[in-house]
A and B are shown apart, each in its own frame.
Chain A
Amino acid sequence: MEMVGGEEDRRLEETELRLGLPGGRASEGETAVAVIKCGGKRGFSETVDLMLNLSTKETLMDLNDKVKRNLAKENDDPVKPPAKALVVGWPPVRSFRKNILAVQKSDVKESEMMSGGAAFVKVSMDGAPYLRKVDLKIYKGYQELSNALGNMFSSFTVGMIDFMNVCKLMDLLNGSDYVPTYEDKDGDWMLVGDVPWEMFVESCKRLRIMRGKEAIGLAPRAMEKCKNRS
């Protein structure tokens, strides 16, 4: 995994990814930028998230120029601009206010879901160039969801991935296999599969299929699950 540039280095964790558009320039393409989780137990958890920078060419160029000047480097490789994504502490809105708005938003969503409407949530997968949306209400359970996700992202992965086979994942956790996670109403990132399906549908705000390496923090619970099963 390549690093972007000196300035980016310090701000971004190693979890930063770069993807090349088919036929794009060598070191170019969309940038997925991971967000550093700020230390501290409380406060709004700046969740690790991926958003793809599909900024217009002009903005890209400007930011490129700016970053180039900043680094004062003569470099043929165009430097990655800061993605138009979540940057820690930006925009500078007090976390208290951010939290209130987040709760209000999820309340609205909750009432929409309660009213029997669809429960569309975004699904991102580490390494994929774009996100998908699924309506959780059309699935009857975790296995169905897992199959659907596997189908959806099969073009980006080598072979089918069985998201629910957590034990198999544990064996290959340092490899390239994936762990399904979701963000709940409180803004916390959880491992998929712990709670009953209905509770999951109600509390899930978005899904992220995390690469094995990053799921280490969530893996211990998966370990226990494996132990309990076997």
Chain B
Amino acid sequence: MNYFPEEVLEHILDFVTSNKERNAVSLVCKTWYKVERESRYRVFIGNCYATNPERLIARFPRVKSLTLKGKPHFADFNLVPHDWGGFVDPWIKTLARACPGFEELRLKRMVVSDEILELLSKSFVNFKSLVLVSCDGFSTDGLAAIAANCRYLRELDLQENEVDDRSGHWLSCFPESCTSLVSLNFACLKGEINLSVLERLVARNPNLRSLRLNRAVPVETLQKIITKAHRLVDLGTGSFIHDPKSETYQKLKNAMSKCESIRSLSGFLDVAPHCLTAVYPICPHLTSLNLSYAPGINSNELIKLIRHCRKLQRLWILDCVGDKGLGIVAATCKELEELRVFPSDPFGPGNAAVTEEGLVAISVGCHKLHSLLYFCQQMTNAALITIAKNCPNFIRFRLCILDPAKPDPDTMDPLDEGFGAIVQSCKRLRRLSISGLLSDKVFLYIGTYAEQLEMLSIAFAGESDKAMLYVLNGCKKLRKLEIRDCPFGNMALLADVGKYETMRSLWMSSCEVTLQGCKTLARLMPKLNVEIINENDLWDEIPADDDRKKVEKMYLYRTLVGPRQDAPGFVWTL
């Protein structure tokens, strides 16, 4: 075929939505590359420093939706200093110049400012969707600008951001003409808001499907809102304190029983045990339930609630539920696909906790389980082997034993065999976090069996460099590797330097890697940014001596654009 019209090709490509597949399409030939890039509207950049805004526009001039991730994952746990980087400014400024049709921005772990939010709100007439996850640097003033200026806003979704809450006035900035909202999530805001403004906003946005309130919204308002929002599928309650004998409670329960559409429930930032009965009417329809911000609800109350939730597919809960409670989950929630059990006392093992028993019970009852995040007091090899046998479908398996480097309490052995069983059995495993006492052996298992593994998190594990090598050599699809407090040094780091160009990033902190090793790596691999984070000494230049000094925190990532210009004084790119 000598001539194949580009329009036809473009039409066909419209059906190819996955970016992975579109990347493959663009490699076929120049024509396909050209057609594909001109019709790509959604772009995902997993590391904002791997490229830059100019290259984005040059490659995909018609981009309408951009997802950007900034800080490394361990920033979630305070391991990355606050001003490390991840500024969204250059991206918005470039897009403002070049892409007036821009519609959708999703950011994770990035630094956003009020000025940039204002620029965003004024630059794109059709702007529809803003999703910010674990970001910081902005205040409610920035939100006010978005509310006021984005006439066709459909989605404002703020998840777990550190927002400077200056006043609830921002909510009033949505004009009367704003009737296009589909999703509004401000649960992470700490301050007060005008309740009647909220009620009117909900009333004039009949397409609202997702609404997550913050703590300042009391039950009385919630009840009124539910009766007005008929299409609500996802609800996040605000404060959920009420007296079961009161009229408010009755009204709430009535409103809930009329809610046919709600499938997802979260919030409960303030709740007392007796209050949960009000949601029983909607429990039978629920597919997603998040109670992980509600400490103080004991196991029995949780059990009573869960017994009503037979259709649950996703459950996020605190370890107050206990092993017994997890047994009830296993018996009741046969459709369960994702489970997260968080520690109710993150500062140390409390009385409320779960053990291997709870997880084994889940594995027996919930055969559809594929995603797990489990914080527990202890784990045994026998339990993990059983779990591996019962649930071979894990895609994400993240286990955190609260006591670092804790062995199997029954045998005092490391947990090598247990995790080995998991990686052997779960052939589709893409994400793994391991914990407890672990020798080099578990890494041999991971390298040998975890063929689909893309992300691995390791802490307080391993005995020698061999461990890290098993993983780097074995896991062909590895994209992100994050390691803390493990005895891995230069030998492991430098054994296969080419590997890092096939990965997005590597994080190593409190390991045995020295400055010399990092320098060598940086020299050998110019397409990597090897960053050293040194909080204790603010050097103006890298000291020439003392290369044998161990590096406290190293973060390296592949990049097309060389060392970043916005690194603060304590970060250096070698």
Footprint of B on A, CB under 8 Å? 7, 10-11, 38-44, 46, 51, 58-59, 62-63, 66, 69-72, 82, 84, 86-98, 100-101, 104-105, 108
Contact = CB atoms under 8 A, between A and B. Distances in A.
- Please indicate which of the listed interface residues A70, A82, A84, A90 has the most CB atoms of chain B within 10 Å of its own CB: A90
Contacts of A51: 348
A66 B437 contact: yes
Contacts of A46: 78
A88 B162 contact: no
B306 interface: no
A39 B82 contact: yes
A7 B460 contact: no
A56 to B, nearest CB: 11
Interface stretch (B96-104, B171-179, B362-370, B397-405): B397-405
B54 interface: no
Interface string B344-365: 1111100000000000000000
B510 A91 contact: no
B463 A10 contact: no
A93 B346 contact: yes
B76 interface: yes
| Among all A-B residue pairs, the 3 with the closest Cβ atoms | A40-B82, A89-B77, A39-B535
A15 to B, nearest CB: 13
A63 B405 contact: yes
Nearest to A38: B78
A105 B346 CA distance: 11
Interface residues of B, number: 52
B58 interface: no
Contacts of A58: 412
Interface in B246-305: 269-270, 292-293, 295-296
B79 interface: yes
A149 B347 CA distance: 26
Contact of B74 (A63, A72, A89, A96): A89
- Please indicate which of the listed interface residues B161, B292, B484 has the most CB atoms of chain A within 10 Å of its own CB: B484
A95 B80 CA distance: 12
A90 B484 CA distance: 10
25 contacts: A7-B512, A38-B78, A38-B79, A39-B535, A40-B78, A40-B82, A42-B162, A43-B82, A43-B162, A59-B407, A70-B487, A71-B487, A86-B347, A86-B348, A90-B459, A91-B402, A92-B400, A92-B459, A95-B76, A95-B78, A96-B134, A101-B293, A101-B345, A104-B269, A108-B296
Given A92-B459, A96-B134, A104-B295, A40 B81 contact: yes
Contacts, number: 113
B134 A87 contact: no
Contacts of A97: 160, 292-293, 342, 346
Given A40-B78, A92-B433, 16 more contacts: A11-B510, A39-B535, A41-B82, A43-B78, A59-B406, A59-B407, A62-B405, A62-B437, A66-B437, A89-B484, A91-B346, A94-B76, A95-B78, A96-B162, A101-B345, A104-B270
A100 B346 contact: no
A91 to B, nearest CB: 5
A73 to B, nearest CB: 11
Interface string B457-486: 101100110000000000000000000110
A82 B404 contact: yes
Contacts of B296: 104, 108
Contacts of A7: 487, 510, 512
A90 B160 contact: no
Contact of A101 (B344, B464, B570): B344
A93 B342 contact: yes
Given A42-B136, A70-B487, A94 B77 contact: yes
A197 to B, nearest CB: 28
B346 A101 contact: yes
Contacts of A11: 485, 510
Contacts of B83: 40
B317 interface: no
B517 interface: no
Nearest to B294: A104
Contacts of A72: 464
A209 to B, nearest CB: 20
B499 to A, nearest CB: 24
Contacts of A40: 78, 81-83
Contact of B404 (A41, A87, A98, A100): A87
A85 to B, nearest CB: 8
Contact of A92 (B76, B348, B407): B76
B535 A38 contact: yes
B349 to A, nearest CB: 9
A98 B82 CA distance: 17
Contacts of A94: 76-77, 134, 160
Nearest to A86: B347
B82 A10 contact: no
B375 interface: yes
A13 B25 CA distance: 53
Nearest to B549: A10
A62 B82 contact: no
Contacts of A89: 74, 77-79, 484
Interface in B133-160: 134, 136, 160
B168 interface: no
B327 interface: no
Given A39-B570, A91-B400, A104-B295, A98 B487 contact: no
Contact of B375 (A41, A71, A91, A104): A91
Contacts of A108: 296
B515 interface: no
A103 to B, nearest CB: 9
Contacts of B188: 96
B531 interface: no
A63 B160 CA distance: 36
A97 B162 CA distance: 11
A39 B346 contact: no
Contacts of A42: 82, 136, 162
Contacts of B407: 59, 62
Interface in B409-431: 412
Contacts of A87: 404, 485
Contacts of B484: 89
B186 to A, nearest CB: 14
- Please indicate which of the listed interface residues B78, B344, B433, B535 has the most CB atoms of chain A within 10 Å of its own CB: B78
Contacts of A96: 134, 160-162, 188
Contacts of B238: none
